[in-house]
Structure 1
Amino acid sequence: MSDTARDTPTAGPQNPVLQRLSTLDRFLPVWIGVAMVAGLLLGRWVTGLDDALAAVEVGSVSLPIAIGLLVMMYPVLAKVRYDELGHVTGDRRMLGTSILLNWVVGPALMFALAWLLLPDLPEYRTGLIIVGLARCIAMVLIWNDLACGDREAAAILVALNAIFQILAFALLGYFYLQVLPGWLGLDQAALHVSMWDIAKSVLIFLGIPLLAGYLTRTFGERAKGREWYETTFLPRIGPAALYGLLFTIVLLFALQGDTITNQPLDVARIALPLLAYFALMWGGAMLLTKALGFDYQRATAVSFTAAGNNFELAIAVAIGVFGVASGQALAGVVGPLIEVPVLVGLVYVSLWARRFFTEGSPSAATTSGA
Structure 2
Amino acid sequence: MSSTPTKEPIVPTANEHVQKQANLFTRLSILDRMLTPAILVAMIVGVLIGVYVQGVQAAFNTATFHGVSIPIVIGLIVMMWPVLTKVQYETLPQIFRSSGIWTHIGISMLFNWVIGPLVMVGLAWATLPDLPTYRTGVIMVGMARCIAMVLIWCQLAQGDNDYCAILVVINSVLQIALYSPYTLLFINVVGGRADSHIKLDYGNVAISVLIYLGIPLAAGVVTRYTVWSLTSKEFLDKRFLPLFGPFALLGLLYTIIVMFAYQGHHIVQNIGHVFRVFVPMILYFVMMWSAAFGLVYWLGRRGRSKHFGYEKAAVQAFTAGSNNFELAIAVAIASYGVGSDEALAATIGPLVEVPVLVSLTWVALYLRGRMHWTEGDSEAGRIDDAGSKE
Separation in 2 of the partners of 1:63 and 1:211? 19
Aligned to 1:103: 109
Separation in 1 of the partners of 2:147 and 2:115? 10
What is the alpha-carbon root mean square deviation over aligned residues? 2.9
**Aligned with residue 302 of structure 2, among 291, 304, 307:** 291
Alpha-carbon deviation of 1:313?
A: 8.0
Deviation digits for residues 254-300 of structure 1 (CA, Å, limit 9, x no counterpart): 222233232241353122221112111111222133334313x7422
Distance 1:131 1:335, change over 3 A: farther
Separation in 1 of the partners of 2:138 and 2:35? 22
Deviation digits for residues 17-49 of structure 1 (CA, Å, limit 9, x no counterpart): 322211221222211111111011101211111
**Aligned with residue 43 of structure 2, among 13, 22, 36:** 36
Deviation digits for residues 97-143 of structure 1 (CA, Å, limit 9, x no counterpart): 21012222234332122112211322023213324576833431442
**Aligned with residue 275 of structure 2, among 248, 262, 265:** 265
Letter in 2 for 1:258: H
Separation in 2 of the partners of 1:273 and 1:304? 17
Aligned to 1:6: none
Identity of aligned residues (%): 26
Distance 1:132 1:215, change over 3 A: closer
The yes-or-no answer on 1:307 pairing with 2:314 is: no
State which structure, 1 or 2, has the greater radius of gyration over its C-alpha atoms: 2
Scaled by the length of structure 2, what TM-score is found?
Answer: 0.79
Deviation digits for residues 187-212 of structure 1 (CA, Å, limit 9, x no counterpart): 25624322222211111121011001
The yes-or-no answer on 1:279 pairing with 2:290 is: yes
Aligned to 2:332: 322
Deviation digits for residues 167-198 of structure 1 (CA, Å, limit 9, x no counterpart): 22212323432246667x33256243222222
Distance 1:291 1:310, change over 3 A: closer
**Aligned with residue 238 of structure 1, among 245, 258, 262:** 245
Q: Does the CA contact (< 8 Å) of 1:111 and 1:132 recur in 2? A: no
Scaled by the length of structure 1, what TM-score is found?
Answer: 0.83
Letter in 2 for 1:205: Y
Aligned to 1:77: 84
- Structure 1 unaligned segments of length 5 or more: list them: 1-9, 146-153
**What secondary structure, in the 3-state scheme, does the structure 2 residue paired with 1:47 have?**
coil
Distance 1:302 1:181, change over 3 A: farther
135-144 or 43-52: bigger deviation: 135-144
Distance 1:223 1:311, change over 3 A: farther
Letter in 1 for 2:291: L
Separation in 2 of the partners of 1:87 and 1:138? 23
Q: Does the CA contact (< 8 Å) of 2:84 and 2:220 recur in 1? A: yes
Separation in 2 of the partners of 1:364 and 1:279? 18
The yes-or-no answer on 1:159 pairing with 2:186 is: no
Separation in 1 of the partners of 2:28 and 2:40? 19
The yes-or-no answer on 1:126 pairing with 2:140 is: yes
Aligned to 2:376: 360
Q: Does the CA contact (< 8 Å) of 1:77 and 1:138 recur in 2? A: no
The yes-or-no answer on 1:186 pairing with 2:197 is: no
Separation in 1 of the partners of 2:153 and 2:44? 24
249-258 or 40-49: bigger deviation: 249-258
Separation in 1 of the partners of 2:23 and 2:380? 21
Q: Does the CA contact (< 8 Å) of 1:79 and 1:138 recur in 2? A: no
- Structure 2 unaligned segments of length 5 or more: list them: 1-15, 129-134, 383-390
